[in-house]
Amino acid sequence: MLDFSHKVALITGGTRGLGRAIAMTLARGGATIALNYRRDEASATRTLDEVRALAPRSILVKADMEDDAQVRALVESVGKQLGRLDILVVNAAATAFKPLLAIKPHHLTRTFNLSVGGFVAAVQEASKLMGDGGRILMISGIDSMRYLPGHGVLGAAKAAMEAMVRDFAFELGPRGITVNGVNFGMIDSDSSRIYFAGDFDRAVKVTAERTALKRLPELDEVASVVALLCTPEARYLTAQIIMVDGGLTLASPLAE
């Protein structure tokens, strides 16, 4: 098991789906977790109980990642309540799944403020609390590199965040802080089920068949890669976007 004893991790969007899986994985390794959420009180409370069974000092921190002031206050609060911050995982995302030709200005503003703006503000504030060995991870998505109907705005935001990973890595590298991204093909999550709706089962089958492993990843498998990037052994790995997709993006469209 990976050892994160005496480490504090902040995970945005950390109470559901992949965020929850990351929180549980780090907590199993001994990290104290700060779970950020926006409005789903029931999921937040349930996940906190599960995490505290492993890491009793873990906390909930409510904040809307679209709001710059709330993001900065969120990170500052974690530092004050838990005394330090060693790991930041920026996972929260939201958008309107609409064609670009139908997008309104407020859709752009919301998506970019939450994804790009929230990422920048969180890293800026976290960097004030982190020392040598700090780890920053952003969770991207396949829409940053592949066409998905209705994902134009979110894909553009994720692509911008991936570009910023490189810049942050070079700015923070001299202090021993690494910055990486984790991308993935398709996972079984609430957002995937909402997006695909009645076509979800077919989407799973088609996607799985195009991977080398012929299946989708478990959430814990993606979370484990995130955790590996947070270890001391990963100290020379930075400025990278790690693709955890079972080979999906490398598959030929002509493959059987």
3 state DSSP class of 80: helix
Global confidence as pTM: 0.96
Whether the pLDDT of residue 1 is over 90: the answer is no
- 46 in Cβ contact with 23 (< 8 Å): no
pLDDT at 142: 92
List, in sequence order, the alpha helices (H) in the chain: 17-28, 41-52, 68-82, 105-112, 118-129, 152-172, 190-196, 200-210, 219-229
The pLDDT tens digits of the residues spanning 179-212 come to 999 999 899 988 888 888 899 999 999 999 999 9
Distances (CA, A) of 15 to 50, 200, 201, 255: 10, 23, 25, 38
Mean pLDDT across 205-228: 96
> Which residues are CB-contacts of 226 (< 8 A; sequence separation ≥ 6)?
22, 25, 89, 137, 139, 182
So where are the chain's domains? 8-246
Strand ordering across the sheet containing 135-139: 59-62, 32-37, 8-12, 87-90, 135-139, 178-184, 241-244
Q: What is the pLDDT of residues 12-55, one digit of tens each?
A: 999 999 999 999 999 999 999 999 999 999 999 999 999 999 99
The answer for residues whose C-beta is within 8 angstroms of residue 210's C-beta and 6 or more apart is 248, 251, 255
pLDDT tens, residue by residue, 149-160: 999 999 999 999
The domain defined by 8-246 folds into Rossmann fold (3.40.50)
Identity of the residue numbered 94: A
Residue linked to tokens 């995302």 = 93
Express each pLDDT in 48-68 by its tens digit: 999 999 999 999 999 999 999
Kindly give the interhelix angle for 219-229 and 17-28, rounded to the nearest 10 degrees: 50
What is the distance between the alpha carbons of residues 171 and 214, in angstroms, rounded to a whole number?
39
